[in-house]
């Protein structure tokens, strides 16, 4: 993004623009380079107008949720980082269908924790397994996040997205290709598309039962993950029929560090920021892990965390 584009954006956009933003403040790893601009959009109309403008001006953009699975490289991001707020965080139960389906429409900017609490309070079941997974609904759908053998894509009925041209589309889940930590689309590329809302197919249950399941999931999670440290959760995807954590541990890397980044002694697939880690430290540690695991087992570990550069 050049100085002229920045100036044009400043005079065109009515809302607030944060300039030269440290993305460490927007990532649960508490590390990352700087972004040229950060804009919060609060409605679908604002979002489509912004994407059309950015596309026409040839300015790069990247949508983030709660930053629990991203790392912006040290050199930073020359473009606009977009966050979804306001109307794009609403939770709306749709009228029951004749077949008794319970569909809930959720804005992509809504936090997963807020959605799980909403469901628990209203006796709506189906997303308990997401308890304790930080992030937004949009981020969870984009990553097809999940745990305990379930993934959020299993509950999807439809998504609404804004494509790279700023046009809004409805996509039924039957047209989506949902795989391990990945969302795809049968009808084309999802590159540069932004999820605006997701419809989930859920069902009624006793509040006490739902809340009991949520508590159990949370307790199991607490027993397995490092506490009180900055991380992005599991850093690598599990290779087929194996676990990245097991491989990293077996390569003797628990506790290995680069600068302020360390392989958690509690869970080897967590890279934690012990304080003051830079994105470069984290990427160096990531590469060390990949090299050692490849050297010992011949397996290429693919990061689950999205690394943003450029």
Give the active site residues.
181, 234, 304
Which among 101, 100, 104, 103 has a CA at the least distance from the CA of 114? 104
Question: Are 66 and 25 spatial neighbours (Cβ–Cβ below 8 Å)?
Answer: no
**Nearer Cβ to ligand FAD, position 181 or 207?**
181
Identify residues 236-295 at the interface with ligand FAD (CB under 6 A): none
Q: What angle do CA 284, 140, 191 make, to 5 degrees?
A: 75
CB of 173 to ligand FAD, least distance (A): 16
**Nearer Cβ to ligand FAD, position 263 or 292?**
263
Identify residues 102-121 at the interface with ligand FAD (CB under 6 A): 108
Q: Which residue among 23, 70, 156, 160 contacts ligand FAD (CB under 6 A)? A: 70
Binding mask 5-44 for ligand FAD (x = CB under 6 A): -----------------------x----------------
CB of 306 to ligand FAD, least distance (A): 4
Per DSSP, helices labelled H in the chain are 3-12, 44-57, 112-122, 137-143, 207-224, 244-250, 279-297
Which among 203, 141, 146 has a CA at the least distance from the CA of 173? 141
Number of helices and strands in the chain (H, E): 7, 20
**Nearer Cβ to ligand FAD, position 233 or 260?**
233
The owner of tokens 């300039």 is: 19
In eight-state DSSP terms, residue 164 is T
CB of 67 to ligand FAD, least distance (A): 5
**Nearer Cβ to ligand FAD, position 10 or 222?**
222
CB of 82 to ligand FAD, least distance (A): 9
Which among 165, 161, 192 has a CA at the least distance from the CA of 175? 161
Distances 7 to 37, 61, 174 between C-alpha atoms, Å: 11, 16, 43
Identify residues 131-190 at the interface with ligand FAD (CB under 6 A): 133-136, 138-140, 142-143, 145-147
Identify residues 203-242 at the interface with ligand FAD (CB under 6 A): 225, 231-233
Q: Which residue among 67, 79, 126, 303 contacts ligand FAD (CB under 6 A)? A: 67
C-alpha to C-alpha distance for 242 and 298, rounded to whole angstroms = 13
Number of residues that bind ligand FAD (CB under 6 A): 31
Question: Are 105 and 198 spatial neighbours (Cβ–Cβ below 8 Å)?
Answer: yes
CB proximity list for 175: less than 8 A, separation 6 or greater: 185, 186, 187
Can you tell me whether residue 162 is helix, strand or coil?
A: strand
**Nearer Cβ to ligand FAD, position 162 or 292?**
162
- The answer to whether residue 194 forms part of the interface with ligand FAD (CB under 6 A) is yes
**Nearer Cβ to ligand FAD, position 63 or 283?**
63
The residue of the chain with the least Cβ separation from ligand FAD equals 65
**Quick one: tokens of 221?**
């999670």
- Interface ranges with ligand FAD (CB under 6 A): 28, 62-70, 84, 108, 133-136, 138-140, 142-143, 145-147, 194-195, 225, 231-233, 306
């Amino acid at each position: 993004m050049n100085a002229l584009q920045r100036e044009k954006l400043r005079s065109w956009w009515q809302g607030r623009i944060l300039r030269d933003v440290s993305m460490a403040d927007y990532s649960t790893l508490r590390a990352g380079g700087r972004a040229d601009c950060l804009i919060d959009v609060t409605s679908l109309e604002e979002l489509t107008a912004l994407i059309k403008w950015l596309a026409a001006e040839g300015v790069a953009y990247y949508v983030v949720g709660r930053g629990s699975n991203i790392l912006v490289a040290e050199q930073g991001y020359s473009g606009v980082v977009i966050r979804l707020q306001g109307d794009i965080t609403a939770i709306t139960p749709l009228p029951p269908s004749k077949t008794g389906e319970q569909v809930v429409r959720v804005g992509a900017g809504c936090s997963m924790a807020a959605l799980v609490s909403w469901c628990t309070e209203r006796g709506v079941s189906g997303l308990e397994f997401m308890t304790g997974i930080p992030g937004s609904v949009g981020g969870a759908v984009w990553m097809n996040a999940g745990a305990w053998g379930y993934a959020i894509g299993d509950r999807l009925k439809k998504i609404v997205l804004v494509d790279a041209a700023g046009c809004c589309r409805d996509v039924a889940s039957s047209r989506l290709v949902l795989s391990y930590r990945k969302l795809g689309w049968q009808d084309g590329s999802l590159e540069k598309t932004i999820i605006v809302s997701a419809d989930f197919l859920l069902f009624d249950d006793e509040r006490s039962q739902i809340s009991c399941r949520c508590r159990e999931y949370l307790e199991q999670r607490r027993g397995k993950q490092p506490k009180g440290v900055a991380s992005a959760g599991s850093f690598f995807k599990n290779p087929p029929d194996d676990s990245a954590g097991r491989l990293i541990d077996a390569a003797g890397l628990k506790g290995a560090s680069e600068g302020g980044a360390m392989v958690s002694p509690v869970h080897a697939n967590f890279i934690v920021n012990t304080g003051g880690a830079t994105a470069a430290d984290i990427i160096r540690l990531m590469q060390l892990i990949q090299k050692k695991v490849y050297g010992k087992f011949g397996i290429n570990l693919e990061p689950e965390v999205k690394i943003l550069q450029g």
